[in-house]
Amino acid sequence: MARISPASWTVAEVEADRGWIYRLSAAESAELIAAVRRAGDASRPILDWRRDDFTLRESLPTLAAAFREVRDGRGMALVRNLPREGVTPAEFRLMTWAIGLHFGVARPQNRTSDYITEVKDAGHAYRSPTGRGYNSKAELDFHVDGSDVVLLSCYNQAPVGGMSLCASAATAYDIVRAERPDYAAALATDYTFSRNGEQSDGEAPWYAAPICTVEDGRVFCKWNRNRIVNAQKIDGVPPLTALQREAMEYFDQVLRRPENMFCMHLEPGDLQILCNQTMLHSRTGFEDHAEEDRKRTLYRLWLARPDSRRLPASWEVFYGTAEPGTVRGGMKGHHYDDARRTFDARQAATLGMRNAA
């Protein structure tokens, strides 16, 4: 099958060409933690920080190259050698935030309108009607997150499991189109997604959008099985047709074929960056350390990017706008207040982005 986009890849291809992996030099790594420590108290409210609080020069070209790979290349990048030895969780979290301030506008991620979340098992149930994977230890479905890109920085890893899984939506959809065009057509129809109780005032508890859309030859994918299943439990939601159910099952099976599902082990000090339009990600379940300070801990950041692409019109219902280069996406949740509005406006102005939030 001919593929013209680098975002359409197989496991063999990303294993053969590791150009999507970027390594910070010792000097670049040292600059990051030095900038964080010069800035001051890492426990300050996260939205109080500004980009200019963190002077980064040497590390920016490597980080910028990783973001270009996510936009124009494979749709994923792995940055290695973030400083970790002797770095506290608060410093590591703030370092992740500092990187975000240089490359986009962070977006809220949950009902409490958090702009950066700790990915750590808190005993929550992923399969509940309001469940989220980041605070559980469950195996996750393939999905995309609600922003242009997602960053995951690894502070601690689990001793068993917790592997990161990635798959190209473009590759999977091309396979479905070739093998089952009827299923491909069904994936391009509207599916209903639950907001999992995280909707803000004025938002419906669910919305409809296709799983796969092709515009200008590019595949845009909005796949999240858990939210589709949860939506079917909400009064008034139209039931899925038998063909839609079969199509989503087939799509998921294609994603999980060994030649399409790439597995990587995030090590402490790794930063994974993924495109939420073409890159589907998941995680295996894990067994954690008993000691609290050794438990699997990552920091997740959702960003709207200055160089983002125009989205399909059907994505406006969730992202707020399809316009490129705008502050869009995220889950405003229940606490989207003046402090958050002020941050969005200030950071958008800093990066020269239009604030549609």
Q: Which domains does the chain have, with CATH numbers?
A: 20-169+261-355 (3.60.130.10), 172-252 (no CATH)
Query: What band does 36 get if pLDDT is binned at 50, 70 and 90?
Result: very high
Q: Is the pLDDT of residue 127 over 70?
A: no
Show the 3-state SS of 215-274: ECCEEEECCEHHHHHHHCCCCCCCCCCHHHHHHHHHHHHHHCCCCCCEEECCCCCCEEEE
Inter-residue contact 354 to 325 (CB < 8 Å): yes
What pTM does this model have?
A: 0.94
Nearest CA to 59 out of 83, 41, 43 is that of 83
DSSP H helical ranges for 40-168: 60-72, 89-103
> pLDDT tens-digit profile of 163-206?
899 999 999 999 999 999 999 999 999 999 999 888 888 889 99
CA distance 286 to 266: 13
CA distance 327 to 30: 31
Beta-ladder partners of 300: 117, 152
- Strands 297-304 and 105-106, by their bridges, are antiparallel
> pLDDT tens-digit profile of 237-292?
999 999 999 999 999 999 999 999 999 999 999 999 999 999 999 988 877 778 88
Q: Is the pLDDT of residue 208 over 80?
A: yes
Query: What band does 136 get if pLDDT is binned at 50, 70 and 90?
Result: low
